[in-house]
């Protein structure tokens, strides 16, 4: 894993809780009690937002009531979504302490605290038992992890035999280098991208069987163009990324357009 202090500095944001609660007030919401979907402009920290989370759940044929492990789940946006829509129980593991603390607070205020648990931890040493989960889940979680083989082994360990892995990630494209800053890194030292073929090979090498794979770069570009054409609301990614948000989003769109990165999703089954 890239230096945890550097990652906490990149993703952590002083006053995040207060900023979000104030944004909810401006939206006419009760900051003490709100629906999980009210946070969607902010807590779905990946391309495609809430719709992409639901699409991945359908692609994975997510079983109702499943035990799900969301690795690098941040503030818990995808976790709250699948809990609400699929009656799952979700454990979120994230390296950023502030995300775990604030995510747990928001989850409780959304009335989902009994079904979503946050554990502060490293994706390369997951604080979970062997075969504890029906489904492991990652959405834009692997880009900061250099040890991809170690990540694969931990994901495989966490899922029961016959269980599934659902991923929605950003990969290296055929053109290099990428333009910085981007949402996951302000400089190259924090960015560790692999190609789609490398990802598929490493996952099958540890014992996963590929069930589905599709490139969604075109959908990503359409989503970005629509988003960049809208004025920012009170609640948005700027609360997470700060003043560099416009540059990060424009660079990410440019990287996709120029084939410097590829957006893809896949589903794998543990043998």
Q: What distance in Å separates the CA atoms of residue 160 and residue 156, rounded to the nearest whole number?
A: 8
Q: What is the DSSP string of 48-101?
A: THHHHHHHHHHHTTPPTT-EEEEET-TTSHHHHHHHHHH--EEEEEES-HHHHH
User: How much is the pLDDT for 230?
Assistant: 81
User: How much is the pLDDT for 231?
Assistant: 81
Output b/e per residue, 140-153; b: 16+ Cβ within 10 A.
bbbbbbeebeebbb
User: How much is the pLDDT for 1?
Assistant: 45
Full-model pTM: 0.95
In this structure, what DSSP letter does residue 122 have? B
- Which H or E run includes 134? strand 133-139
User: How much is the pLDDT for 168?
Assistant: 99
Structure tokens at 144: 């900061």
User: How much is the pLDDT for 2?
Assistant: 46
Q: What distance in Å separates the CA atoms of residue 151 and residue 125, rounded to the nearest whole number?
A: 8
Domain covering 4-270, topology:
Rossmann fold (3.40.50)
Q: How many CB atoms lie within 10 A of CB 116?
A: 27
> Averaged in consecutive runs of 10 residues, what is the pLDDT profile of the chain (271 residues)?
75 88 94 94 91 98 98 97 98 95 96 98 98 98 97 99 99 98 96 98 98 98 87 87 92 98 99 91
Q: What distance in Å separates the CA atoms of residue 134 and residue 245, rounded to the nearest whole number?
A: 35
Q: What distance in Å separates the CA atoms of residue 252 and residue 240, rounded to the nearest whole number?
A: 16
Q: What distance in Å separates the CA atoms of residue 239 and residue 33, rounded to the nearest whole number?
A: 20
């Amino acid at each position: 894993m890239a230096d945890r202090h550097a990652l906490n500095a990149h993703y952590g944001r002083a006053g995040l809780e207060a900023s979000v609660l104030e944004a909810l007030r401006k939206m006419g919401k009760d900051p003490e009690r709100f629906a999980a979907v009210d946070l969607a402009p902010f807590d779905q920290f990946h391309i495609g937002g809430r719709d992409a989370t639901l699409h991945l759940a359908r692609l994975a044929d997510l079983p109702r009531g499943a035990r799900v492990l969301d690795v690098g789940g941040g503030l818990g946006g995808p976790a709250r979504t699948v809990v609400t829509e699929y009656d799952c129980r979700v454990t979120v593991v994230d390296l950023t302490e502030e995300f775990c603390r604030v995510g747990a607070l928001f989850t409780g205020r959304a009335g989902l605290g009994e079904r979503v648990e946050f554990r502060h931890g490293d994706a390369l040493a997951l604080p979970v038992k062997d075969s504890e989960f029906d489904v492991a889940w990652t959405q834009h979680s692997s880009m900061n992890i250099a040890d991809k083989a170690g990540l694969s082994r931990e994901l495989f360990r966490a899922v029961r035999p016959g269980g599934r892995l659902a991923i929605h990630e950003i990969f290296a494209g055929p053109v290099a280098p990428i333009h910085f800053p981007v949402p996951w890194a302000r400089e190259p030292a924090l960015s560790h991208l692999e190609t789609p073929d490398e990802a598929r090979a490493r996952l099958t090498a540890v014992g996963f069987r590929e069930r589905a794979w599709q490139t969604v770069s075109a959908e990503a570009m359409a989503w970005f163009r629509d988003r960049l054409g809208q004025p920012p609301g009170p609640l948005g990614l700027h609360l997470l990324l700060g003043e560099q948000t416009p540059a990060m989003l424009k660079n990410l769109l440019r990287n996709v357009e120029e084939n410097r990165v590829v957006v893809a999703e896949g589903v794998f089954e543990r043998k």
